[in-house]
C-alpha cells in the first residue's frame, strides 16, 4: 500500500531529536550476560506496527528463555533472535520450551504480518500461542491459524484476569474483558478493542529460606510493564471497571486492603503506549492512574498512512507526566518526561535514527532501569554491535 502523508494541521507530531550526548557506546550482549537476572524487553522499530520480545532472567544453566508479543514484519525478529543466540544470550536446547509463550494480540497485519513464518521456523521451541479469538479474514490471520494447526501448537484465548507465571515473572491479562470477548462472533467488538493487553511483573515472587524452612512469597510491588497492544477507549473502560482503583478514603480499611491486595493492578512503571499513540488509544486519566516512569511509542513518527503518533495522545501523556494546567510551567522535553519513540533520531548535522528500544529491568527496584537504542530503520536488521545506551539524569 502506498504511503500517503498525513492530513494538514497538527493532528500528528514528530519526535524531537535526542541529544547525541545522552547516548553512549556499549556492549549490549555483554551487559545481558553480566546482568543475567535482569528481564530484557525489546520494542522493535517496525514503523506503524508492533514487534516485541521479552527475555526472561537466566535459569540455573545460564540461558534465557523468551516470549514474543506480536510480529509485524518477517525478517527483523528472527534476525534478532539469531544474533542473541550467537552471543550466547539465549537458552540452549533443553526440556523446557525456549519460547514458552507467543502472543498475537489481535489479527491486524501490523501485529501478525510476520507471525506465520516465525511459527513455522520456531514451532518445536514454542510452548503455547495466545490470541484473542477474534476472526479476521486476512491472509496473515489464516496462515497463522494454519501453521498452529499443522504444528500442533496449543492455543490459549486469555481474557482479563488470567495470570501465568514463568519462573519469577508473572503475566496478567488486563484485556480483553469477558464482556467484549462474547461479542466477537457478532462483530460487536471493534478489532483493536479485542487486543490482548498484558502486564508483566518482575520479580513477582521469591522463595525465602530460613534454616530448613522455605516460604513462597508474592512480592507486593514488583517492576511492572503494561503492553497496550492496540486497545482503545472501550477496552480500557472495561479494564478500569474490572480492576477498580483503591481510593484512600478511610485510613485503617485502606491500609489493610493495600497490604492484602498490593498496588493498583493497572499501575505500570513502563507503558508500551497503545495503538502507536493513536488519539483513540490513550487518555490523560488512564496515564495518570498508571503513573508510568517510561512511555514507549512504536510508530513511524508522523510520516505513515495514519500520522501516528497523534498530537492529542502525546499531549495527554505529557500532561499526565508533568501537569501544567494549573502551574503553567514550562514543558520539559519528552526524554525528561520518560517518553521514547522508535522513530526518534539523534541531534547532528546528519541525524541518525535511534531505532529499536531495549529495556533492562533489574531484579531489585533500588537498581536503575537501563535503556538501549540500536540505530536501525524499520527495514534494517538489528546489529547488536551498534547499541548505544541512553543515559538518564
How much is the pLDDT for 4? 43
Could you give the CA distance from residue 99 to residue 80 in angstroms, rounded to a whole number? 14
Phi, psi of 3 (to 5 degrees): -90, 125
68 pLDDT more than 50:
yes
CA 274 to chain centre: 9
**Residues near 140 by Cβ (< 8 Å), separated by ≥ 6?**
107, 109, 112, 113, 115, 116
Predicted confidence (pLDDT) at residue 113 exceeds the cutoff of 90: yes
* Predicted pLDDT at 215: 67
Confidence of residue 392 (pLDDT cuts 50, 70, 90): very high
Lowest-confidence segment of 20-34, 188-202, 250-264 by average pLDDT: 250-264
Extract the C-alpha cell encoding 328: 503553567
**Would you place residue 2 in the very low, low, confident or very high pLDDT band (cuts 50, 70, 90)?**
very low
User: Which cell is 227 given?
Assistant: 503492553
3-state SS, residue 226: strand
Average pLDDT (5-23) is 76
Instruction: Please report, rounded to a whole number, the percentage of residues in the chain having pLDDT higher than 90.
Output: 76
Given a cut of 60, whether residue 5 has pLDDT beyond it is no
pLDDT of amino acid 10: 56
**What Rg do the C-alpha atoms of the chain give, in angstroms?**
20
Cα separation, 138 vs 153, in Å, equals 20
CA atoms within 13 A on the CB side of 106: 27
**Mean pLDDT score of the chain:** 90
156-212, pLDDT tens digit by residue? 999 999 999 998 899 999 999 999 999 999 999 999 999 999 999 999 876 666 677
pLDDT, tens digit, for every residue of 325-372? 766 678 899 999 999 999 999 987 788 999 999 999 999 877 899 999
In the prediction, which pLDDT does 381 show? 97
C-alpha cell at 82: 539469531
Amino acid at each position: 500500500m502506498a504511503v500517503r502523508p498525513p492530513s494538514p494541521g497538527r493532528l500528528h507530531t514528530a519526535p524531537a531529536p535526542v541529544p547525541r550526548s545522552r547516548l553512549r557506546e556499549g556492549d549490549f550482549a555483554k551487559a545481558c550476560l553480566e546482568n543475567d537476572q535482569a528481564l530484557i524487553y525489546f520494542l522493535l522499530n517496525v514503523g506503524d506496527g508492533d514487534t516485541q520480545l521479552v527475555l526472561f532472567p537466566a535459569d540455573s544453566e545460564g540461558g534465557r528463555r523468551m516470549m514474543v508479543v506480536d510480529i509485524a514484519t518477517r525478517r527483523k525478529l528472527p534476525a534478532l533472535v539469531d544474533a542473541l543466540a550467537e552471543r550466547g544470550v539465549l537458552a540452549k536446547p533443553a526440556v523446557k520450551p525456549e519460547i514458552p509463550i507467543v502472543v498475537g494480540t489481535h489479527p491486524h497485519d501490523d501485529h501478525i504480518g510476520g507471525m506465520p513464518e516465525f511459527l513455522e521456523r520456531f514451532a518445536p521451541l514454542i510452548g503455547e500461542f495466545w490470541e484473542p479469538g477474534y476472526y479476521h479474514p486476512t491472509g496473515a490471520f489464516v496462515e497463522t491459524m494454519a501453521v498452529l494447526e499443522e504444528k500442533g501448537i496449543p492455543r490459549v484465548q486469555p481474557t482479563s484476569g488470567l495470570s501465568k507465571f514463568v519462573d519469577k515473572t508473572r503475566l496478567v491479562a488486563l484485556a480483553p474483558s469477558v464482556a467484549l470477548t462474547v461479542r466477537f462472533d457478532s462483530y460487536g467488538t471493534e478489532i483493536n478493542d479485542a487486543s490482548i493487553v498484558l502486564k508483566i511483573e518482575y520479580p513477582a515472587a521469591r522463595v525465602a529460606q530460613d534454616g530448613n524452612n522455605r516460604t513462597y512469597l508474592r512480592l507486593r510491588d514488583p517492576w511492572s510493564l503494561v503492553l497496550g497492544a492496540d486497545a482503545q477507549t472501550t477496552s480500557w473502560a472495561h479494564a478500569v471497571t474490572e480492576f477498580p482503583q483503591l481510593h484512600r478514603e478511610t485510613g485503617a480499611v485502606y491500609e489493610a486492603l493495600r497490604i492484602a491486595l498490593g498496588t493498583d493492578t493497572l499501575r505500570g512503571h513502563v507503558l508500551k503506549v497503545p495503538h502507536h499513540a493513536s488519539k483513540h488509544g490513550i487518555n490523560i486519566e488512564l496515564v495518570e492512574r498508571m503513573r508510568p516512569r517510561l512511555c514507549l511509542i512504536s510508530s513511524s513518527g508522523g510520516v505513515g498512512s495514519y500520522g501516528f503518533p497523534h498530537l492529542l495522545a502525546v499531549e495527554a501523556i505529557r500532561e499526565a507526566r508533568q501537569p501544567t494546567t494549573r502551574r503553567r510551567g514550562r514543558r520539559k522535553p519528552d526524554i525528561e518526561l520518560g517518553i521514547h519513540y522508535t522513530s526518534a533520531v539523534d541531534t547532528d548535522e546528519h541525524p541518525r535514527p535511534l531505532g529499536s528500544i531495549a529495556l533492562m529491568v533489574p531484579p531489585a527496584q533500588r537498581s536503575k532501569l537501563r535503556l538501549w537504542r540500536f540505530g536501525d530503520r524499520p527495514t534494517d536488521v538489528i546489529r547488536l554491535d551498534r547499541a548505544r545506551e541512553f543515559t538518564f539524569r
